[in-house]
Amino acid sequence: MKTTRDLCFCLCIVIAMTKIWSIDANTEGLQKISTNLRQHLNDAFCENRHRDNERNKVKVRRYITDAFENYKLQVKIDSFSGYNGNCFKGENIIGILAGERNGTAIDKITLMGAHYDTTKNTPGVDDNGSGVSALLEAAEAARMVKSGACKPKNTILFVAFDVEEMEDERDVESGFMGSKHFVDEWLQDFLNAEGNARSHFQGALIMDTIMNYNNAIDTQSYPDDLLTYFPEVKRHLINRNHRGDFVTVIGRRTDAEFSDNFTSHLSEVKVADTHTEVFRLPLDGVPTEQQMSQYYFFAASAHIRFWQKESPYLRALFITDTAKFRIPMVKCYHKPCDDNSMITDENLMFLARTTKAATNMLIELGDNSATDCLVGVASTIQPHSGLPYLVMAAIMFFIIDRISQ
């Protein structure tokens, strides 16, 4: 009997330690992503990148291009110019991870995008150094899907947009110039690369201002007129005492399947006291001008240029930390204090969660059935996370011991 109890005790401990080691390995994975994100932010996204700041724009373009080339992606430059109250020139930088079906009608293309420019008076660490850092980290992780069992069948695009910041915050047409040119020109040519054999577009993840995490009470707000349309989100904010502890996923009914997929991947990357809020706008297809005005905040990023395309509609999600509706960005949005003070351990772990979820979704939509290609889908970050499993092991042993007596 003693031998049986000893064996049971060993089994319980092995189960508990296996769970602890699994959590530690996953924790290490998220922390590695966090470290990489910190390096990108410090190396390239702590200085102003407005269209008038040519020296810094050239430097950051070189940084993004070099990164894509180092990741063995095909790099394309989408140059454009125009006038939106001021004459402008811009360059979208595109990294292509070509799948086996690239250039055919059966290719199912997925995109991750973020704008790299800023307004005039800000270093733009959160807006939008955070989004571009996530883009680069996801592109680097995609290197592992380029060969062997992890090679994707479908093509993945990584796009850094230029000249996106609006001159007038309530006028969409005063901004998002890079994404407009990309969607109207470059993407259409790419989808139709084989003449009449149009490739299928699965959707775009647009990352814009995504690293501000604030778990303190009364740090999150929203305009009342917007929350009126989303009572469930309003209830969540009230129940959590208006904490800025969530990432926001914004899409139309048209984007519902794509949105559900991304939300599912977010739920699999668990970071303690971090949540997801989904805003599903009651829109089908191209929004009208009245709807754009009604949901003005939800139109404030590059995804709107995908939404404006007629059938076949282009699915796209706007991923954000809500920007100016969360402290400290309430006072730092488009201001000098959106600087390297935003680069904290908490903010980086919050950003790492979104980055990992996006990466895993891109790999999955690359039509890769090898689950070990995903970037640690079961991560949990919380202090002393192994303790509950040791307690569970002790309880299991006690029960078995009592039964066996």
The number of residues in the chain equals 405
User: Which candidate, 34, 13, 18, 4, places its Cα nearest to that of 375?
Assistant: 34
pTM of the model: 0.86
Classify residue 149 as exposed, middle or buried by CB count within 10 Å of its CB (0-12, 13-18, 19+): exposed
Mean pLDDT confidence for 12-34: 59
Q: Which tokens sit at 383?
A: 């202090």
Closest Cα partner for 330 from 392, 240, 242, 405? 242
Rounded Cα distance between 133 and 398, Å, is 49
Residue 335 tokens, joined: 């201001």
Answer whether residue 93 shows pLDDT above 60.
yes
For residues 75 and 166, the answer to whether their CB atoms sit within 8 Å is no
For residue range 322-370, what is the model confidence (pLDDT) as tens digits?
A: 999 999 999 999 999 999 999 999 999 999 999 999 999 999 999 865 4
Look at 108-117, 258-267, 374-383 and tell me which has the smallest mean pLDDT: 374-383
Any bridge partners for residue 94, and if so which? 76, 159
pLDDT of residue 122: 97
Band (203; pLDDT cuts 50, 70, 90): very high
pLDDT of residue 264: 97
For the chain, percent of residues with pLDDT exceeding 90: 68
**Residue 90 contacts residue 185 (beta carbons within 8 Å):** no
Residue 237 phi/psi, 5° resolution? -60, -45
Across 167-192, average pLDDT? 83
Query: Pick from 313, 292, 309: which is nearest to 180 by CA?
Result: 309
- CATH label, 17-386, candidates 3.40.630.10, 1.10.1200.120, 3.30.460.10, 3.20.20.70: 3.40.630.10
* Per-residue model confidence as pLDDT tens digits over 226-253: 888 999 999 999 999 999 999 999 999 9
